[in-house]
Amino acid sequence: MSKRIGIIVGSLRENSFNQMIANSIPELVDSAEFEYISIADLPLYNADLDLGEGPDPVKHYREAIRKTDGILIVSPEYNSGIPGVLKNALDWASTPTKSAVLINKPAGVIGATPGVKGTILSQQQIRQTLDATQSYVMPAQKMYISQITDKIDSITRKLTDESTRKYLQRYVQSFVQWINQVQRLNE
Ligand SMILES: Cc1cc2nc3c(=O)[nH]c(=O)nc-3n(C[C@H](O)[C@H](O)[C@H](O)COP(=O)(O)O)c2cc1C
């Protein structure tokens, strides 16, 4: 059966490059189903609100993650680190401690920037957070997209750079295999 992969984008910006990268994934990989999981309506994390199933947007967000076989995070880097909106979203997915939706969840990390360092520092922090949530972050393989403005069509705003498209395709195909490996480990 084909795997169901949730995509979480760490930018709320309408013309986000990372959202654009996320949008190109389904056309590159047909061996999985993809679903975008929005973090835009989540409140700021507050343990006083984190009772029972939590506020409605949190409940829907957690349920969406629970239904997936794995999640791909596609995120920018802010001030050499993880964007606050993404950290907030991962914190909401990390509770309740013993039954959180990220426990044992296969996860992959992708990032794009107009800069030259490809979101390396942000990805380190995202991996550190996912590690704390007991997710299974795909090891070794990394997906850093630098100088994104040179790799898209400025009018259609689609990813046109052929080597980046192949890199993204290979990364996501490997992620599908990673989901299979983690599922076998947890059988
Ligand atoms: C507050 C702020 C901090 C930023 N810090 C970094 C950074 O540390 N490294 C980097 O590569 N880009 C940084 N940028 C530039 C972003 O990579 C750029 O705005 C990018 O387009 C954001 O991703 P998006 O297009 O998906 O929204 C920063 C942007 C903002 C607004």
Tens of pLDDT, residue by residue over 122-141, are: 999 999 999 999 999 999 89
* Domain that includes residue 141, residue range: 3-185
- Report the phi/psi class of residue 148: left, alpha or beta, with left for phi > 0 and alpha for psi in -120 to 50: alpha
pLDDT reported for residue 76? 98
Q: 97 CA distance to ligand 1 centroid (A)? A: 31
The Å distance, Cα 21 to ligand 1 centre, comes to 15
Query: What is the β-pairing status of strands 32-36 and 3-9?
Result: parallel
CB atoms within 10 A of CB 113: 21
Total of domains in the chain:
1
Residues of the chain whose pLDDT is less than 70? none
User: What is the position in ligand 1's atom list of the atom closest to the CA of 146?
Assistant: 11
Cα–Cα nearest to 38, from 80, 77, 2, 88: 88
CATH number reported for the structural domain that contains residue 154 in this entry: 3.40.50.360
* pLDDT score at 187: 87
Q: How far is the CA of 15 from the centre of ligand 1 (A)?
A: 13
Q: How many Cα atoms sit within 13 Å of 71 on the Cβ side?
A: 29
Q: From the CB of 79, is ligand 1 less than 6 Å away?
A: yes
